[in-house]
Amino acid sequence: MNGMQNKSILIVDDIAENIDILVELLKSDYDIRAASNGNMALKISQSEVPPDLILLDIMMPEMDGYEVCKKLRANTQTTNIPIIFVSAADSIEERLQGYDVGGDDYVVKPFNAEELKKKMCVLLQHKEEVDKLASSASEAMKVAMVAMTSAGELGNVLEFLSKSFVCHSATELAKTMLDNLNSNNLHCAVQIRQKHGQVNMSNNGVASPLEVAVIDKLKDVKRIYDFGNRTVINYPHVSLLIKNMPVNDEDLYGRIKDNIAIFVEGAEERVKAIAIEDEVKDKQESLREIVLLTEQALVEIDARNKEHKLASTQIMENLLQDIEEAFLRLGLTEEQEQEMLSMANANVEKALALYEEGLGVDEHLLSVMEKLKKSVSDER
C-alpha cells in the first residue's frame, strides 16, 4: 500500500459482524483497532497514539456517529483525523449532515471494497500533506475571523478581479481565488467546470471527496445555498463552497455574501473568457497549419512553372530550328520564309507572355500569403 502499512485505522460500529468484515478486508494493509460505541471511540482517539483514520458508523445507541464526529472535531488533539462515515443511508440530508459535522467522506453500505480502500488511501495521503503544511506554518494557524471594513472587503474583490485577467487556465484562476479568500480567513473549496473537464481545489490543495460530492449535489439547486456555517455560491461554470461563514456576526455575514457573490460572478466571466481564448488559440493554430500547407503548395507550383518555362522555351527554339531547316526542302521564296518565321516568332512570344502572366499571379498569391502569415503572427 505504498508505505501505508504503519497507518492505524479505527473502526467504530456497534455490530460485531460489521467490524469483522472491515478487519478482514484491511488487516493486511493497516494496523486495526476497533470500538463498539462512541465513548470507546473517543477514548481511543484521544489516547497517546491516536488513529490515522476513522471508519465511523452513524446509527449507534447512546451516541450516534454524528455526535462522535462533532466531539472529535471539537478536540484539538483529534480535529484533523480523517473520518469516513460508513452508513446504509444515502440521502442528500444524511450526506449534508455528515459534512456539516466535519466528515471527510461518505461510503454507503454495502460498499465496494476497492472503492473504500482507494478513498482511505487518498485521505491518508491528503492528511500527510496537510500535516507537512501545518508543521511549517507559524502559530498564526490558530485562525480567527478578523472583521474587515466594507471598503477593505470591496478592495479585496477588486484586487481579485484585477489579478484574474492574467489567469489563462482554470487551475490558475482557482488558485488565485483561494489565495485571495484565504488572506481574508475564509476557508473554501472551488469547482470550475469546463468543456473538457473540471478543476476542484481547496485551501489545502486538492478538494476532499466529500467537498466535491457536496458541490456536485448542490451546483444546480440554486444560486446561493446555506447549510449551517457553510454557504455554496453557484454560477454555470463556477461553484464556491465557504466552510466557515461567520453566522454569529450578522453584519459581517451579510457583507461577505454580497461581496463573494460579485467575486464568483467575476470568476464566472473570466472562465468564459478563458474558454474563448482557448478556442481562438485552436483556430489560430489551425489557420497557421493551413497557411503553411498553402505556402508549400505555392512553392511547389512555382518550381514546376519554372521547369515548364524552360521546357517550353526549348520546344519553341527547336520548332524554329525545324522550320528553318524545312525551308531548304520546301523550296519557298525568301519572302514566304520571312512571313512564316514572323508568324512562328509571334506565337512564341504570345506563349512566353502567357507564361509570364501566370508567374505574376503566383507572385501575387505569394504576397497574399506573406500578409496572411504576418496577420496570424501578430494575433498571437
Sign of CA dihedral 145, 146, 148, 153: negative
**What's the length of the chain?**
380
Residues 6+ apart with CB under 8 A from 46: 75, 77, 78
Q: Which long-range contacts (CB under 8 A, 24 or more apart) does 225-234 make?
A: 227/96, 227/100, 228/100, 230/99, 230/100, 231/257, 231/260, 233/257, 233/260, 233/261, 233/264
Say which residues have a Cβ less than 8 Å from residue 133's Cβ, sequence separation at least 6: 204
- Domain shared by 212 and 325, yes or no: no
CB-based contacts of 354: which residues, under 8 Å, 6+ apart? none
- Identify which has the larger pLDDT, 81 or 357: 81
Residue 34 confidence class, pLDDT cut points 50, 70, 90: very high
Give yes or no: residues 95 and 172 share one domain. no
Residue 151 domain-assigned (yes or no): no
Q: pLDDT by residue (tens digit) across 121-177?
A: 999 998 888 777 766 643 433 333 333 445 556 677 788 888 888 888 999 999 999
At residue 228, the pLDDT reads 87
Rounded CA gap, 106 and 110, in Å? 12
**153 lies in some domain:** no
The range of the structural domain enclosing residue 124 comes to 8-141
The verdict on residue 149 lying in a domain is no
What share of the chain in percent tops pLDDT 70?
A: 76
pLDDT at 60 over 60: yes
Q: Of 257, 278, 299, which residue is a domain's last?
A: 278
Lowest-pLDDT choice from 21-35, 96-110, 127-141 = 127-141
The answer to the question of residue 152 being in a domain is no
Backbone angles phi, psi at 244, to 5 degrees: -140, 55
361: exposed, middle or buried (C-beta count within 10 Å: 0-12, 13-18, 19+)?
exposed
Give domain status of residue 147, yes or no: no
Angle of helix 16-26 relative to helix 113-136, nearest 10 degrees? 70
Highest mean pLDDT among 105-119, 274-288, 330-344, 366-380: 105-119
196 within a domain of the structure (yes/no) = yes
Amino acid at 268: E
User: Edge-to-edge strand order for the sheet containing 31-35?
Assistant: 31-35, 8-12, 53-57, 83-87, 105-108
Based on the fold, state whether residues 219 and 311 are members of the same structural domain: no
pLDDT at 192: 94
Q: Considering the domain boundaries, does residue 116 fall inside one?
A: yes
| pLDDT at residue 371 in the model | 66
Q: What is the pLDDT of residue 172?
A: 92
Q: Which of 244, 278, 312 is the last residue of a domain?
A: 278
Q: Which whole number is the average pLDDT over 247-264?
A: 86
135 and 230 in a single domain? The answer is no
pLDDT at 143: 34
Same domain, 14 and 131: yes
| Position 313 pLDDT exceeds 90 | no
Q: Which residue has the higher pLDDT, 313 or 251?
A: 251
Q: Is the pTM of this model over 0.85?
A: no
User: Does the pLDDT value for residue 15 go beyond 50?
Assistant: yes
Boundary-marking domain end, from 260, 278, 296: 278
Q: Please tell me whether residues 346 and 323 are part of one structural domain.
A: yes
pLDDT, position 253: 86
Q: What is the pLDDT of residue 141?
A: 35
Averaged pLDDT, 212-222: 90
Domain count, the chain: 3
Summarize the confidence of residues 334-349 as an average pLDDT.
72
Q: Same domain for 292 and 271?
A: no
- The answer to whether residue 86 sits within a structural domain is yes
Strand 224-227 with 205-206, pairing: unpaired
pLDDT at 116 over 70: yes
Q: Which residue has the higher pLDDT, 356 or 76?
A: 76
Calpha distance 367→230 (Å, rounded):
63
**What are residue 87's DSSP bridge partners?**
108
- pLDDT value at position 4? 59
Q: Tell me, what CATH number does 30's domain have?
A: 3.40.50.2300
The mean-pLDDT minimum among 22-26, 81-85, 125-129, 283-287 falls in 283-287
C-alpha cell recorded at residue 185: 480567513
Cell of 363: 507572385
